[in-house]
Amino acid sequence: MGGKCDYNNSVEKFEQDSQSGPAPDRRINTMANCAIVGINWGDEGKGRMVDYLTDHYDVVVRYQGGGNAGHTVVNEKGKFALHLLPSGIFRDGVVNILGNGVALDCENLLKEMETLRAAGVIITPENLKVSDRASLLLPWHRELDALEEARLADKKYGSTKQGIAPFYGDKYQKKTVQAGELLHPEHLKEHLADLLEWKNLMLQKIYGAKGYTMDELMAWVNTYCGAIKPYITDTGRFLRNAQKEGKSILFEAQLGALRDLDYGIYPYTTSSNAVAAYAPVGSGLPTAKLDEVVGVVKAYSSCVGEGPFVCEWFGEGAQQLRDAGAEYGAKTGRPRRVGPIDLVATRYGVETQGATNIALTKLDVLSYMDKIPVCAHYELNGEQTDDFPFPVLLQDAKPVVEYLPGWQCDISGARNWDDLPEAARSYVEYVEKAIGWLPHRLRLRRRGAREPHHPLTHQSKEGTKAPSLLFYCNFASFYIKYEQRPLRKKRRTLCARIFTSPRFRPAMRPNTCCTSFPPTCASRRGADCGWRLPAPSTSWACRSRRSRSTSSPRTSPTSTTRSPKSASTRCATT
């Protein structure tokens, strides 16, 4: 493995080297509303992705989870493990929001803010806002979490004991205090008294614990929650106004798809929804539409906590991989369970998250191996399967491992596709094909038409060869694939998603796309071509050049049709 790279400097250098002429405004390449989510068990490297991409966004929202997991960010100010604060807190001009779906632990939040301030990070009510509808995680939540784990003994869930499960249990029983109540002291005290009576019954009668007094509870509230009061506001109204003004919003998730309460390896999950679909609800902007979902995948597998982990390694091989990737929990410091990349689980995670973009992290950690193992399939009940099983069946699943050639050289300095050795490129291509992405590596670029038929590079108008991939190294390099479409505040190209969506691409032809419903292609003026697509439409529209001058309503798909091959199509913009 190679040495550590300076994150921010390497990104700036890449941008300067990869563009000719003066650097354009980076915001023209932003994705209007984007969620960054984990595809696997968490710990994929979402923090560094958010820290990098926040430079392209106006607002960053943390929409679920609490202080039970950490996002590690390394920048010019140092190395930080963020548990509650959004990762955009390091960027000037970015507004960071803790949404209503977050478990608001004021004690840990205040400590985290003090740590960052000591490192020179500016935190004010202008760049950090807390939703008045976020519920407070109170001291008894942490105590109940620890007591229940102790009761479960060898059947424990592997909780971080940060009170997350008791908190969300109380929230859905309507037994929590909302942050906005801190601004109304008389109501707050009355509400806390009611909750205190109920919680002491549980602590004392079920677990035999001491319980709390009202004085102890109010002292905790005044010490920790009082310091957070200046940051509490109606973030829903702020986000609605930001949406009206055309500002770009980044939604940050915690953990990964396999730890989602509904779609993960239940019951060994977190107690909130880590899927991208929950972002609008948990952020406080339920009307938000996600234009992009960046799914983060590690080049191998790691997992903290209990539960089935089909591809898990043990012994010396596991320890070597753990040390190479520094796989220790950001919150607890616990050694992470490790193994080769699990393509069955990863493919399921991509589908669950609805990922439109994939980032592959820590590729250079594998550089020490002479051959790279991958968990390509599962064996269940004597049969090989590529489908992710129902959670109770995972304990009986066995990994089917395949091997690819290793590259055995330092790739931590790679900044574009051609810098990688052939074996590393083959590994990336193998993974993206296995998880549902065909190998179209589209270049990172400024304005201009997309070129889906040039998989690796593209000759730009200036005559320079633009790189097809973006790499960066912060202990371990990552690979990110962008959907390439010019996105603007109020004007964006239509029918772009079909070139990158894994469910459409195998059956799609160039410049063909679908109307609203039924899923057919509109390829000539006044009539649909009638060619049916493989899945329901996403409302993109594609019209011929002739139709731009004449506006005619489209007729039903049963009207006269012609083959898309003869259609001269053009993407309409609005």
Catalytic residue set: 43, 71
Output Rg (C-alpha) for the chain, integer angstroms: 25
Tell how strand 103-104 and strand 135-136 pair up. parallel
Alpha-carbon span 555 to 528, nearest angstrom? 7
**Nearest one of 194, 340, 176, 393 to 271, comparing CA atoms:** 176
Q: Please name which of 91, 97, 23, 16 lies closest in space to residue 55, comparing C-alpha atoms.
A: 91
What is the number of other CB atoms lying within 10 angstroms of the CB of residue 289? Answer: 9
What is the DSSP track for 133-165? TPEEPPHHHHHHHHHHHHHHGGG-----SSSHH
Closest to 75 (Cα-Cα) out of 163, 134, 7, 164: 7
- Residue 288 phi/psi, 5-degree rounding, is -65, 145
Q: What is the DSSP letter of 222?
A: I
Burial class (CB in 10 A: 0-12, 13-18, 19+), 419: middle
Phi, psi of 130 (to 5 degrees): -115, 130
Contacting residues for 393 by C-beta, under 8 A, at least 6 apart? 380
Residue 405 tokens, joined = 């050639």
Burial class (CB in 10 A: 0-12, 13-18, 19+), 197: exposed
Which H/E stretch holds residue 282?
helix 279-283
How far apart CA 523 and CA 525 sit, in angstroms, is: 7
Distance CA 469, CA 392 (A): 39
DSSP assignment, residue 335?
A: B
The CA distance from 81 to 79, in Å, is: 7
Closest CA to 285 of 94, 57, 96, 100: 100
Nearest to 250 by CA among 510, 437, 32: 32
**HSE value, Cβ hemisphere, 13 Å, CA-based, for 433:** 8
Which residue is listed with tokens 């820290």? 51
Give the span between the Cα atoms of 200 and 211, in whole angstroms.
Answer: 5
3-state secondary structure 159-220: CCCCCHHHHHHHHHCCCCCEHHHHHCHHHHHHHHHHHHHHHHHHHHHHCCCCCCCHHHHHHH
Give the C-alpha separation, 374 to 340, whole Å: 5
Q: Of 280, 251, 291, 347, which Cα lies nearest the Cα of 538?
A: 291
CA separation, residue 129 to residues 137, 249, 255, 282 (Å) = 17, 14, 22, 14
Please tell me the distance from the alpha carbon of residue 159 to that of residue 161, in angstroms, as a whole number. 5
Phi, psi of 527 (to 5 degrees): -155, 150
